[in-house]
Amino acid sequence: MSATVLPTASHATPRNERSPAGATKAYRGVAMEGVIARWYARTRGTASQRQDWRRQAEELVVGLPPQADVLEVAPGPGYFAVEIARTGRARVTAVDISRTFVEIVGENARAAGVSVAVRQGDAAHLPFEDASFDLVVSQAAFKNFAQPQQAVDEFYRVLRPGGCARIQDMSHDAPDAAIREEVAGMGLGRFRAFLTRRTLHALRRRAYTSRQFEQFARTSPFQGCEVRTSGIGLEVRLVKPRGSSTTSSNDSLSAH
Ligand SMILES: C[S@@+](CC[C@H](N)C(=O)[O-])C[C@H]1O[C@@H](n2cnc3c(N)ncnc32)[C@H](O)[C@@H]1O
């Protein structure tokens, strides 16, 4: 099997933030391209993290229809997408704003011998038809999106009725003690532990609270969500009701 890299989405056009050069951009923070993306892929590719993704993927596919269509938004290096594909229970598609990550997802899928259709695109303007997926997942990325409300609206649009979106990310409400505990569990030396704590404190500033997620959900056609918190993170579950008509994100925005 091979990874399919689909043509670049025409509407991956960066939107509402301004880069130093004055161009708008679709992400918050630095562009995860080139050496930054390759470095990130190495830090996320340890055996223990991959094992964790494998366990999560096996849990995720339980209850999905046979050969379900799963979309991972902002997969970074794509380790989770690869593990979902490895279960053999779903057709997996991945979309990331970073051209380098699109390449890396392809490389990782090929190395694992699984099929992941991957393309470049913006979470706020997903390059897919309405009602294309049974499940949308996104991990450790939502706080990076420049247009979070539009991303939630887009998750709704591309889901089939009865489908579910699961967003996992750091919580803005994560207590300092939870950050200390998380880093202690990583088994790092003192200096790396210090740097990692600092990074997590910086990421927490950008992350959203449970209440903000509830607000995004209420404002979207999902109209509500379930939020579970654990340690430094949270998981948001959004369900598109069976029998609901698919509303395009533009229609849904104009309806509010
Ligand atoms: C911190 S990385 C997380 C990657 C991966 N999900 C993980 O758990 O390692 C954030 C990801 O979000 C992607 N990203 C940021 N803004 C995006 C957007 N507007 N649309 C799609 N992907 C975006 C980045 O390119 C990067 O892959």
Q: Taking the CA of residue 123 as centre, how many other CA atoms within 13 Å lie in the half-sphere pointing to its CB?
A: 31
Q: How far is CA 87 from CA 64, 90, 113, 237, in A?
A: 12, 7, 12, 22
In the block, tokens 């887009």 appear at 154
Q: Are 217 and 152 in contact (CB under 8 A)?
A: yes
Q: Give distance in angstroms: CA of 74 to centre of ligand 1.
A: 4
Residue 251 parent element (H or E): helix 249-254
Distance 156 CA to ligand 1 centre (A): 19
Half-sphere exposure of 139 (CA within 13 A, CB side): 16
Rounded to the nearest angstrom, the distance between the alpha carbon of 144 and the centre of ligand 1 is: 7
Domains in the chain with CATH codes? 4-169+208-243 (3.40.50.150), 173-206 (no CATH)
Residue 250 is predicted with a pLDDT of: 43
Pocket perturbation via mutation, ligand 1, pick of 16, 27, 232, 249 by most ligand atoms within 8 A of CB: 27
Dihedral sign from CA coordinates of 51, 56, 61, 63: positive
8 Å CB contact between 152 and 123:
no
Walking along the chain (256 residues) 10 residues at a time, the average pLDDT comes out as 49 42 78 96 93 97 94 98 97 98 98 98 98 98 98 98 98 97 92 95 97 98 98 98 68 37
pLDDT at 4: 62
By C-alpha distance, which of 133, 136, 140 is closest to 160? 133
Cβ neighbour number for residue 151 with a 10 Å cutoff? 27
Q: Hey, whose CA ends up nearest to atom 10 of ligand 1? A: 141
pLDDT at 186: 86
In the prediction, which pLDDT does 3 show?
Answer: 58
Distance from the alpha carbon of residue 147 to the mean position of ligand 1, in angstroms:
13
Which residues have C-beta atoms less than 6 Å from ligand 1?
A: 26-27, 32, 44, 74-76, 96-98, 101, 122-124, 139-141, 144-146
